[in-house]
Structure 1
């Protein structure tokens, strides 16, 4: 009788565990929110990725790829905005030079993020040291893209640069940097779980 009770208890525990697992697998939004807790900006992370829940499913790899893709898209948009700011009427010479540097940095950032997505795509069948090598490349490129974004803002660091151009570019670049930071955290999460 005691064995039967123990058996039923274990069976019930197995069923409940399986049901909980199935519930989580069927809800990619919860997977995304849970994964985003590992990022520095979890609310932004969940908001920016929830629209891709179907594509992401419950795949850490696809989550990282999607986060990088969102970051690329927003960085391209930001780079286009910065280019427009170079043509603002009345822009001062110092601001114009800072904008030109920023355009170059944002272009480099897009290139590095694009390379990181390609490299992450190569991890599909990679194992052992091969996987570690690909992931190291991805992490290096995403970190460099984040540095490019920060460097873009360095040109506007002096107090004499306060104004519309600086404020507009700063707001956009900071938003992109937060997305890129989140993408890096999700890349690191994927690397650590593989």
Structure 2
């Protein structure tokens, strides 16, 4: 005869939704609009439970995480430049230009994040136009950095590093912001307490 307690516990295990599964579905849904979905899921999965299905939150955290990653790229490039690992006048010039481009990227990302933190119903369209403009400019700056190493075999490793660690995630942030611009603001009150909890 089946133990009633064992049967009840088994039933509860299979009938109760698993938070981890729901969280994973949130990030996959949010990242479905991005070009580099694996990168998106990997970088934003830890925020999934709190962000749920809010395009506003995903856009804001997407830019915030991008800033963190691009800062890491910037630090790496500055170390390379100071240690003079790159030989050749053209390669060194390309690296210096790249450092400046990445700094411009960070400036534009910070501008976009500042606007995303103070969105309003009244000025939403204008604000999102600014956000998309700055994120597009950030991506262009990264492309300029990468293009500067074209034709340089050894220095090309830097281009690939910037591409994978900066431009991919910036492209994703732009896609998340574009989703917000298309969807519009649903309810600012749902995010009232999030400013203290999320980037």
- Identify the TM-score tier after normalising by the shorter chain: 0.7 to 0.9
Give 2:121's match in structure 1, choosing from 101, 122, 127: 127
Alignment partner, residue 27 of structure 2: 32
1:59 is displaced (CA, Å) by 1.6
Aligned length: 165
Whole-Å separation in 2 of the counterparts to 1:56 and 1:171: 31
Give 1:118's match in structure 2, choosing from 91, 114, 119: 114
Whole-Å separation in 1 of the counterparts to 2:22 and 2:128: 27
Runs of 5+ consecutive residues of structure 2 not aligned to the other structure: 1-16, 185-199
Counting only pairs closer than 5 Å after superposition, residues 37-186 of structure 1 correspond to structure 2 as: 37-86=32-81, 87-89=83-85, 91-123=87-119, 126-128=120-122, 130-157=123-150, 159=151, 161-163=152-154, 165-167=155-157, 169-175=158-164, 176-186=166-176
Residue 173 to residue 93, structure 1, CA distance change in 2 (3 Å): same
Root mean square deviation, CA, Å = 1.9
1:142 is displaced (CA, Å) by 0.2
Which TM-score applies when normalising by structure 2? 0.77
1:90 is displaced (CA, Å) by 5.8
Whole-Å separation in 2 of the counterparts to 1:178 and 1:89: 25
Whole-Å separation in 2 of the counterparts to 1:89 and 1:30: 44
1:153 is displaced (CA, Å) by 1.2
Contact 2:109 2:134 in 1 (8 A): yes
List, as ranges, runs of 4+ consecutive aligned residues in structure 1 with deviation greater than 3 Å. none
Residue 192 to residue 90, structure 1, CA distance change in 2 (3 Å): closer
Alignment partner, residue 178 of structure 2: 188
Runs of 5+ consecutive residues of structure 1 not aligned to the other structure: 1-21
Which TM-score applies when normalising by structure 1? 0.79
Contact 2:132 2:174 in 1 (8 A): yes
